[in-house]
Amino acid sequence: MSTDADAVPVAVAPAKRPPINKYAFACALLASMNSVLLGYDISVMSGAQLFMKEDLKITDTQIEILAGIISIYSLLGSLMAGLTSDWLGRRYTMVLAAAIFFTGALLMGLAPNYAFLMAGRFVAGIGVGYALMIAPVYTAEVAPTSSRGFLTTFPEVFNNFGILLGYVSNFAFARLPVHLSWRAMFLVGAVPPVFLGFAVLAMPESPRWLVMRGRIEDARRVLLRTSDSPEEAEERLLDIKKVVGIPADATDADDVVAIVRANETARGQGVWKELLINPSRPVRRMLVAGLGLMFIQQATGVDCVVMYSPRVFEKAGMKNRTNSLGASMAVGACKTFFIPIATLLLDRVGRRPLLLASGGGMAIFLFTLATSLLMLDRRPESEAKALGAVSIVAMLSFVASFASGLGPVAWVYCSEIYPLRLRAQAAAIGTGLNRLMGGATTMSFLSLSEAITIAGSFYLYACVAAAGWVFMYFFLPETMGQSLEDTGKLFGKDMDDGDTDDGGVVHHERKRSTELITQQ
C-alpha cells in the first residue's frame, strides 16, 4: 500500500521569486553564446546551397548530404564533449568548441571543391556538437533553482539568434558573384568563435564539476556568487556533496580525499554501464523521457524548414531567389522573437504546459502547411496566391510554436533530470540522438519530397508531432521548482533510500567515501 512518503513530490514554484542573480545571469549568457555557432551554420546553408550548386556544379543529392551531414558529425562531437567536460571541465570544453568551429568555418569558406567542403563540414560539425552539449549543462549547473529554467533557455535563444544571423548573411551576400557569395557566407561564421573563446575564459568553472574534482572550497566560492543567498549556497553544496557521496559531516580536507578517490573508481566504464547496460528503474525512466524528447524535437522536421525554407517558399509561389532569401529571414526572426515566451514562462507556468501547448500547435500547423501545399498542386493558378499565403503563414506559425516551447524547453528539461554522476554522459547521448535525427531529416528531405511530395513530407512530420504530444503527456513529469539533486524523485527515486539513490550510485559512493575517510 502506498503512503504519502512514497508519493512522487509535486513541483512547487517559490512563493516569492527573488531577483535574477546577476552573476549567474552573466555566466549563462556567455556560455550560451556558443549556441550561435550551431544556428548560424544550419541557416547559412539554406542560402549558400543555391550558389554552391551553381559554382561547384554539384547535384541535389550532394547538397542534401552536405546540408545534413553536419548533424551526424556533431553527434560525434557531442559524445566527445561528454568525456572532455568531465576531464577538462565545462569551461575549457566551451573554449575547445569555439576553436574547432573557427577552423571548420575557414575550411568551408576556402574550400576549392566538394571533398574539401565536406572536410570543413566535418570539423565544424565536431565543434557544433561540443557547443550544443556543453552550454545547457554548464548553465543548469551554475543557475540557482529559482531561475534555472529561465537561464537554461539561453542556449536555444542564441541558437535562434544564430539562425537569424545566417539568414541575414544569405541575404547580404546574395548579390556578390556566385563564386564569392557562398564563401563569404561561411567565412563570416569564423568571426564569432574568436570572441567567444576569449569571453568564456572570464567565467568560473561549474561548481558541480569542482566538487567532482575534490575542489570543495572553489565550488563554495562559485556557489556563493551564483546563489540567491548564502544559505542557498550552502544547501546547494550539501546537495551536490550528497549526490557525489561526500558525508555531510566530513571536514573539507576529508572531503577532498574522499571525492577524488571515490571518483577514481566511479568514472569511466561504470558510468556507461549504469546508463546503457544495467540502468536502475529511475535511470531508465529518465533516459526514456530525455531521449524521447530529443527524438521528438528533431523528428518533427524543424531543421528541414530552417535549412530548406527557400525551396518551400518557392513551392508556395515565391519564384524570385532574392525574395525567397528575404522571406527566409522571417523564419529566423520568428524563431528568435518567440523564444522569449518560453524564457519568461518556464519558471512561472512550468515545463509541461509549454511542451504540450507547443507540441499541439506544431501538429496543427504542420497539417495545415501540408494541406495547403497539396492543394496548390490541384487548384488553378488563380487560387495559388491565397494558398501560397496560407502555406507561408502555416510555416511561420509552426516555427513560432516550436520556438515558444519544444525548442528551448527540451534542452532545459534534459539538463535537469539526470543525476550529477551521469549528467554529462547522458546529456551527450541525448545531444547525439538529437543531432542524428536532425541529420536524418535534413539529409532525407529532398529525396523524401521526390518520393511522396513536399506535402507528404509535412504530413509525416505532423503525425510525428501528434505522437510526440501523446508521449509528452504521459511520460514527462513537471520539474519546475525542484533542485537538480531532487529531480530524480520525480522518476520514482526516494532520496532517503540508499538502494535506489541515483540507481545505487550515491549509496555506493557514500559508503566508499566513508571508508576512505576512516582509513585516513
| pLDDT tens digits along 277-293 | 888 888 889 999 999 99
CA distances (Å), 166 to each of 187, 213, 226, 285, 374, in order? 12, 39, 33, 37, 29
Give the Cα separation of 4 and 13 in Å (integer): 20
What domain range is 51 assigned to? Answer: 19-259
- Mark the ranges of the chain whose per-residue pLDDT is less than 50: 1-15, 494-520
Give the Cα separation of 419 and 239 in Å (integer): 11
Residues written for the chain: 520
29, three cell numbers: 549568457
pLDDT at 250 (0 to 100): 60
Q: Are residues 250 and 274 in the same domain?
A: no
Neighbour-count burial for 108-141, b at 16+ CB within 10 Å, e otherwise: bbebeebeebbebbbbbbbbbbbbbbbbbbbbbb
Give the Cα separation of 210 and 266 in Å (integer): 16
User: Radius of gyration of the chain from Cα atoms?
Assistant: 23
Q: Are residues 425 and 378 in the same domain?
A: yes
Task: Read off the pLDDT of residues 10-48 as tens digits, 9 standing for 90 and up.
Answer: 444 444 566 788 888 888 888 888 788 778 887 788 888
List CB contacts of 84: < 8 A, sequence separation 6 or more: 93, 96, 130
Q: Are residues 293 and 211 in the same domain?
A: no
Domain assignment present for residue 338? The answer is yes
Domain assignment present for residue 502? The answer is no
Give the Cα separation of 111 and 99 in Å (integer): 19
Q: Are residues 280 and 233 in the same domain?
A: no
Give the Cα separation of 193 and 199 in Å (integer): 10
Give the Cα separation of 98 and 35 in Å (integer): 10
146 and 18 in contact (C-beta within 8 Å)?
yes
Q: Are residues 275 and 389 in the same domain?
A: yes
Q: How is 187-254 classified by DSSP, letter by letter?
A: HHTTHHHHHHHHHHTTSPPPHHHHHHTT-HHHHHHHHHHHSSSHHHHHHHHHHHHHHHT--TTS-HHH
Give the Cα separation of 48 and 160 in Å (integer): 18
515 and 451 in contact (C-beta within 8 Å)?
no
CATH of the domain at 400: 1.20.1250.20
List CB contacts of 142: < 8 A, sequence separation 6 or more: 24, 27, 28, 31, 151, 204, 206, 207, 222, 226
Helix (H, G, I), strand (E, B) or coil at 432: helix
pLDDT at 425 (0 to 100): 79
216, three cell numbers: 570543495
Neighbour-count burial for 29-47, b at 16+ CB within 10 Å, e otherwise: bbbbbbbbbbbbbbbbbbb
Given its phi and psi angles, is residue 503 left (phi above 0), alpha (psi -120 to 50 degrees) or beta? left
CA distances (Å), 12 to each of 146, 205, 230, 356, 482, in order? 11, 29, 22, 19, 8
Q: Are residues 329 and 184 in the same domain?
A: no
Q: Are residues 393 and 321 in the same domain?
A: yes
Q: Which of residues 259, 293, 308 is at a domain's end?
A: 259
Q: Are residues 242 and 285 in the same domain?
A: no
Overall domain count for the chain? 2
Q: Are residues 396 and 251 in the same domain?
A: no
Task: Read off the pLDDT of residues 201-234 as tens digits, 9 standing for 90 and up.
Answer: 888 998 888 887 778 888 889 999 988 888 888 8
Q: Are residues 255 and 399 in the same domain?
A: no
- The helix (run of H) or strand (run of E) holding residue 312 is helix 309-315
The model's pTM is 0.69
Give the Cα separation of 496 and 494 in Å (integer): 5
Q: Roughly how many angstroms between the first and final C-alpha of the chain, as a whole number?
A: 44
Q: Which of residues 230, 259, 288 is at a domain's end?
A: 259
Give the Cα separation of 314 and 319 in Å (integer): 5
Domain assignment present for residue 430? The answer is yes
Q: Are residues 81 and 121 in the same domain?
A: yes
In the chain, the percentage of residues whose pLDDT exceeds 70 is: 83
318 and 53 in contact (C-beta within 8 Å)?
no
55 and 427 in contact (C-beta within 8 Å)?
no
Domain assignment present for residue 495? The answer is no
403 and 335 in contact (C-beta within 8 Å)?
yes
